[in-house]
Amino acid sequence: MKRRIACACIIALATGLAAGCAGKTGGGTDSDNPTVIEIETYYNGAAKIALDELVEEFNNTVGDEKGIFVKASSSGDMSELFQNLNDELEKDAKDRDLPDIFSCYGSNALEFEEEGLLADLDDYFTKDELSEYVDEYIEEGRVGKDNALVVFPIAKSTEVMTINKTDWDKFAVDTGADLRQLSTWEGLTDTAEAYFEWSGGKALFGRDAFANYMLAGAHQLGEDMFDIKDTDVSISMDKDMMKKLWDNYYVPYVKGYFTSIGRYRSDDMKTGDLIVAIGSSSGGSYYAQEVTVGDDDPYPIETMVMPVPNFEGTDPVVTQQGAGMAVVKTDKEKEAAAAEFLKWFTDVDANSRFSMASSYLPVKKSSNDMESLEKIVEKNKIEWNDIVRDTIEVGFEECNTYELYTMTPFKGSDNCRHIVEDSLQNKAAADRETAKGLMETGKTLEEAVSGLVTEENFETWYNELSTQLREAVQS
């Protein structure tokens, strides 16, 4: 992973560190000979702009006072970043070129932690300092057999449901549909059927990150799909639970009530292919504000944000997500300097400003509500997007009233998640095409799907998924 220091003076400072700062244990303190900290993220768009501005502010204030200079760069997207990191991990130790801090999830950090490459941030934060952060965010960052804090929360997200309220209202006026029906998966499925019939065959709903539906849904229904005891992992897939997940995604999907066409469901909302979508709260700045159907002129829409649905009769659960930051184990000076930046970046003011710009959620308990954010808005005279504001507000509501779910990382957990992500989604998409082909021959919708929405078809999928996952955890 080759990175270039932006200007010659920084290169000179970096090469002078060993001589100028040797022996320090509390982070750089010499503003003429700073400790240089390189950060590699996957941020782009609003999040990258916000991070770059805050890094510059840190360098000109606290960093200047304490002799720390931070340089942030982005690999462009998450997959590219993790590929670059994995490429470095495969090299001999002497040839590795890792950043001092990098964005990662617990599953990505696991292999680095096993090789002893990550700093334990418990060494740089007191218990009182850690208690200021949302408990679940800190616990998610504890990885490996020693439960070390190796992934630090810097901004989080969850999932929210967005609605094209303009077109929903037309449907609701004609049919009496109520937004409260969207509070459960069962209600969403029934409403999607009604919308399909009213609209002449259009889908109501789609979602991103299908694995979240399966994993959080299974947890909500009473049984995690992966039972982890120390380093042993077993598959737990109660058939009734899996059938409920099937009935509320596969069945409406093959009937055309749900869909997925573009890369993200926000893209499908912009083209009018659906009017309700679930995606990451961090995508607030990308939500549709107008719709263009085919060659027609675009028309503006009102976008509404709601919490994600739950299964009837269950306690509310929502996925907790968002990469944290890992600090590479180097020396006490560099590690302390890295921790100093993380403390500053996650303090209420800086972290709240980053959140408002990027649609992420701040990580401290004291900043985890709208009242706190509104104070920051007033103090800094910030103007922010109404949709981002609504998204963050719903994100706070979920974080404060739902159970936050995250998949516990284990060796091979990323592969298992990919299997869960693709298994039912790919089957639903393929079988929908089969149904459409049958309808083109003159069959009705019910005739076309009659051979698909069967117990036998469910059993076949269930057994295939079970086999794939068991083989994955045993490999």
pLDDT in tens, 268-316: 999 999 999 999 999 988 888 999 999 999 999 999 999 999 999 999 9
Q: Tell me: do 307 and 228 sit in the same domain.
A: yes
| Ranges 4-13, 101-110, 149-158: which has the least confidence | 4-13
Q: Tell me: do 64 and 171 sit in the same domain.
A: no
Which CATH number does the domain housing residue 415 bear? 3.40.190.10
Cα 117 to chain centroid, rounded: 24
Residues 171 and 272: their CA atoms lie apart, in Å, by 14
Share of the chain above pLDDT 70, in %: 93
Answer yes or no: is 390 within a domain: no
Residues 393 and 370: their CA atoms lie apart, in Å, by 6
Q: Read off the pLDDT of residues 357-393 as tens digits, 9 standing for 90 and up.
A: 889 999 999 999 999 999 999 999 988 889 999 999 9
Answer yes or no: is 373 within a domain: no
Predicted confidence at residue 15, as pLDDT, reads 37
Instruction: Kindly state the average pLDDT of the residues 446-456.
Output: 99
Q: Read off the pLDDT of residues 47-92 as tens digits, 9 standing for 90 and up.
A: 999 999 999 999 999 999 999 999 999 998 889 999 999 999 999 9
Angle between helix axes 45-60 and 348-358 (nearest 10 degrees) is 160
Q: Tell me: do 12 and 144 sit in the same domain.
A: yes
Q: Tell me: do 215 and 256 sit in the same domain.
A: yes
Q: In whole numbers, what is the pLDDT of the chain averaged over residues?
A: 93
What residue numbers bound the domain in which 357 lies?
A: 8-156+322-368
For residue 281, give the nearest of 311, 258, 308, 302 by alpha carbon.
308
Q: Tell me: do 266 and 411 sit in the same domain.
A: yes
Answer yes or no: is 304 within a domain: yes
Predicted confidence at residue 297, as pLDDT, reads 96
Instruction: Kindly state the average pLDDT of the residues 155-174.
Output: 98
Q: Read off the pLDDT of residues 196-242 as tens digits, 9 standing for 90 and up.
A: 999 999 999 999 999 999 999 999 999 999 999 888 999 999 999 99
Q: Tell me: do 362 and 416 sit in the same domain.
A: no
Predicted confidence at residue 25, as pLDDT, reads 35
Is residue 12's pLDDT more than 70? no
Question: Which of 368, 394, 428 lies at the terminal end of a domain, its last residue?
Answer: 368
Predicted confidence at residue 49, as pLDDT, reads 94
Four-CA torsion 262, 265, 266, 270, nearest 10 degrees? 60
Is residue 10's pLDDT more than 70? no
Predicted confidence at residue 18, as pLDDT, reads 38
pTM for the whole thing? Answer: 0.90
- Please enumerate in sequence order all residues whose Cβ is within 8 A of that of 450, keeping only pairs 6 or more positions apart, or say none: none
Q: Tell me: do 313 and 461 sit in the same domain.
A: yes
Instruction: Kindly state the average pLDDT of the residues 396-412.
Output: 95
Predicted confidence at residue 363, as pLDDT, reads 98
Would you place residue 28 in the very low, low, confident or very high pLDDT band (cuts 50, 70, 90)? low
Answer yes or no: is 401 within a domain: no
Would you place residue 29 in the very low, low, confident or very high pLDDT band (cuts 50, 70, 90)? low
Q: Which residue has the higher pLDDT, 310 or 13?
A: 310
Query: Could you give the residue ranges of the DSSP H alpha helices within 121-209?
Result: 127-130, 135-140, 165-175, 185-199
For residue 62, give the nearest of 347, 385, 465 by alpha carbon.
347
Q: Tell me: do 27 and 81 sit in the same domain.
A: yes
Residues 232 and 112: their CA atoms lie apart, in Å, by 19
At 446, the amino acid letter reads E
Q: How many domains does the chain have?
A: 2
Q: Tell me: do 308 and 175 sit in the same domain.
A: yes
Share of the chain above pLDDT 90, in %: 85
Q: Tell me: do 149 and 163 sit in the same domain.
A: no
